[in-house]
Amino acid sequence: MKRSLLIHHLEEQGCFFSREGAKHSIYKNPVNGKKSTIPRHTEIINILAQKICKDLGIPSP
């Protein structure tokens, strides 16, 4: 999955960009206070995308 598509899905679900790390972007879900890191690769494997969504408490894309 493309990183841009995953970020678009996260933002559609109400998550927002929190801050940049050294090699990751950190997104937060304001509803439940959970956060997750998204690596800055152009391609993110589907299993990792599902784990990120699970960590944030939102449905998988």
How far apart, in whole angstroms, are the C-alpha atoms of residue 6 and residue 29? 14
pLDDT value, residue 15: 97
pLDDT value, residue 49: 96
pLDDT in tens, 6-53: 999 999 999 999 999 999 999 999 999 999 999 999 999 999 999 999
47: left (phi over 0), alpha (psi -120 to 50) or beta: alpha
**pTM for the complete prediction?**
0.92
Q: Provide the pLDDT confidence category of residue 54 given band limits of 50, 70 and 90.
A: very high
